């Protein structure tokens, strides 16, 4: 069982620079148009952006690359093999562009159980900032399946 005392615990902040080639590849994989602001630098600049516009769900993958989720799970004693992704939610405050340097700061927002402890839920909230200003908030619910809990 996850100890509820972890609620409020933060991981170390991670600084990441958004790479243009990776934004373009992500947009391509999701089927964004070649001549759109997510894949074409000229189109982005013609639309008034300094660089490629970051697609909405890109931050989830980028946050995963920081390792914050793995550090959180390790910190609370959860085996990655027992984990499912339960839910993700994104709140954006401004447009993010390739070349931006952003900071991810993650904290455990809640821990609760259902089904007599067979399922535990670890809710993580991540603040994303650029130059100290809010860019986005990510909320992720991780489901932990406890097979050893008897029915």
| Selection from 121, 139, 133 nearest residue 59 by Cα | 139
Per-10-residue mean pLDDT, the chain, length 151: 92 94 95 93 97 94 89 89 94 97 96 94 96 96 84 54
How many whole angstroms separate alpha carbon 112 and alpha carbon 64? 22
How many whole angstroms separate alpha carbon 135 and alpha carbon 103? 9
Q: According to the model, what pLDDT value does residue 151 have?
A: 54
Q: According to the model, what pLDDT value does residue 149 have?
A: 67
Element of type H or E holding 134: strand 133-145
**How much is the pTM?**
0.89
Give 4-18+54-145's CATH code, choosing from 3.10.129.10, 3.40.50.261, 2.60.120.260, 3.40.1280.10: 3.10.129.10
How many whole angstroms separate alpha carbon 129 and alpha carbon 80? 28
Q: According to the model, what pLDDT value does residue 123 have?
A: 97
| Spans of all domains in the chain | 4-18+54-145
Q: According to the model, what pLDDT value does residue 68 have?
A: 86
């Amino acid at each position: 069982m996850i100890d509820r005392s972890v609620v409020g615990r933060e991981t170390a902040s991670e600084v990441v620079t958004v790479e243009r080639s990776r934004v373009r590849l992500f947009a391509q994989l999701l089927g964004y148009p070649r001549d759109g602001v997510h894949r074409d630098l000229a189109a982005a600049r013609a639309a008034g952006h300094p660089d490629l516009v970051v697609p909405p769900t890109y931050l989830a993958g980028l946050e995963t690359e920081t390792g914050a989720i793995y550090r959180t799970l390790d910190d609370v004693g959860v085996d990655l093999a027992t984990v499912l992704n339960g839910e993700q939610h994104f709140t954006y405050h401004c447009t993010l562009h390739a070349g931006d340097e952003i900071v991810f700061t993650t904290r455990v927002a809640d821990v609760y159980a259902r089904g007599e402890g067979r399922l535990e839920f670890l809710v993580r909230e991540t603040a994303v900032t650029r130059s100290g200003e809010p860019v986005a908030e990510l909320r992720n619910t991780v489901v932990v399946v406890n097979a050893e809990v008897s029915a």
